Structure 1
Amino acid sequence: MKLNESTAVSTNKVLLVPYDRRHVLTYHAWMEDPAIQQATASERLTLAEEYDNQLSWRASHDKLTFIVCQPSAPSTVVAAGEVDAPNKMVGDVNLFLTPYDDDNENSNDDSADRVSYVEGEVDIMIADAKHRGQGMGRAAVGAFLGYVAQGGDTARHKQVVPKLRMLVAKINAGNGKSIALFKSLGFEQEGDVNYFGEVKLVLRDDDNGNSLREKISVVGAPEGYAEVVYTRSEGDTASL
């Protein structure tokens, strides 16, 4: 989405920045690792295909993505190319939006005011093993969910939050650490291990009137959470 093209999310443990062209070489190197391909259920792509993906993800209406970087000093502005240099990048976090299957309340409503509800699949990758086990994954997901939910009257809230009814994480059943991460954020397992060896963890609106946004707020944003301006230099050819 273009929604986050000028916004970074800063916390004490991680910095999330928009996925720019400058990040593709490092991202592609991560995805050359067969273990990461397997963990993320991804196919190997050429470098040219990765560049095409970055462009399409930025323009997409149903995908929101940030690159996870090491934390930076507190500031209201961060500059591209400094805080997100290749040696500062550690992974990515994404939200994929799809139609919400249980959209029953509007099933008979053909009016122009009908709301098309969606669910969002969240995934997190900490690519470099040396950065795992330090709480960066949990901080990244917590910051990401905070960004989605804390929109107030902004364009983000108007475009995403009112339509979002459920968050889903699909995780390899053998990845106990990732399962524990999402459970610590309030997600609950739904069903058994599927054909692909994955468990499905969900966080959703419920019948007791607890909205998804309220549930995310209960978890709370990571320490030091702040939305800051992400700037690029004039004529920056590494940005898109």
Structure 2
Amino acid sequence: MRINENTLLEGKKIVLVPYNSNHVPRYHEWMGSEELQKLTASEPLSLEQEFEMQRSWREDDDKCTFIILDKQKWDEPTVPEEQCMVGDVNIYLTDPSDQSLAEVEIMIAEPSYRGRGIGKEVTQIMLCYAFTRLGIRKFEAKIGLDNTVSIAVFKKLGFGELSVSEAFREVTLGMNVDEAANPLLLCNTDLQEHEYRKARDSRH
């Protein structure tokens, strides 16, 4: 989506920025991992294909993508943004007839950042953004049955089990959101929204 092409979301531990071409080489390195390919149900791509994918994600009306950055590193003006990358988070509009329904997907690609509460913060911020800026009211997440950590994170945020596919070895979790029903989602974050280019330029 182009709606977030100049949006920066700042949390307590992380910063979310639009997925740009300068992020592609690092992202491509990540996706060479068989572990991440399995977790994301992805096929390995060439670097050229990865650049094409980045461009399509920017243009697609049914997908909103942010790159996750380590805020502590990002706060250092001398550290290139690509060296701050931790993973990515996506929102997919899965039903053309229902623009209020979306699937959320998060990937913490750097192993050293797992188990540190990053996934929960990123997910909560992305859900808040999707609710307030994209008009999403119903969220789903498809997670591998072996990924017990991610399942636990989503359940702590209020997601419930919708279905289990033994064939695909995944569980589908879901949550309907409104301001009255889920104040945790909307209020209990350190989320700040900034203009991405101004924030980036102010580091130099």
Normalization by structure 2: what TM-score? Answer: 0.88
Change (3 A) 1:84 1:19: farther
Q: Using the TM superposition, give the Cα deviation of residue 118 of structure 1 relative to its aligned residue in structure 2, in angstroms.
A: 4.3
Identity %: 37
Residue number among 130, 149, 161 corresponding to 1:189 in the alignment: 161
Map of 1:168 onto structure 2: 140
CA distance in 2, matches of 1:147, 1:117: 15
Map of 1:237 onto structure 2: none
Change (3 A) 1:214 1:61: farther
CA distance in 1, matches of 2:78, 2:169: 39
Q: Structure 2 matches for 1:7-26, cutoff 5 A?
A: 7-26=7-26
Q: Structure 2 matches for 1:37-52, cutoff 5 A?
A: 37-52=37-52
CA distance in 2, matches of 1:201, 1:186: 10
**Higher mean C-alpha displacement, 38-47 vs 141-150:** 141-150
User: Which is bigger in relative contact order (C-alpha 8 A, separation at least 6)?
Assistant: 1
Q: Structure 2 matches for 1:158-237, cutoff 5 A?
A: 160-161=134-135, 164-204=136-176, 211-212=177-178, 214-221=180-187, 223-231=189-197
Q: Using the TM superposition, give the Cα deviation of residue 212 of structure 1 relative to its aligned residue in structure 2, in angstroms.
A: 4.1
CA distance in 1, matches of 2:130, 2:189: 17
CA distance in 2, matches of 1:58, 1:213: 29
Q: Using the TM superposition, give the Cα deviation of residue 147 of structure 1 relative to its aligned residue in structure 2, in angstroms.
A: 1.2
Change (3 A) 1:99 1:34: same
Taking only aligned residues, the RMSD between alpha carbons, in angstroms, comes to 2.6
1:16-66 Cα offsets, whole Å, 9 max, x none, are 000000000000000000000000111111111110011111111000000
What is the one-letter code of the residue matched to 2:197? T
Which has the larger share of helix? 2
Gaps of 5+ in 1: 104-115, 151-155, 205-210, 235-240
Gaps of 5+ in 2: none
1:87 aligns with 2:69: no
The structure number with the bigger radius of gyration is 1
Change (3 A) 1:42 1:215: farther
What is the one-letter code of the residue matched to 1:96? Y
CA distance in 2, matches of 1:213, 1:84: 38
Aligned to 2:194, the other structure's residue is in SS state strand
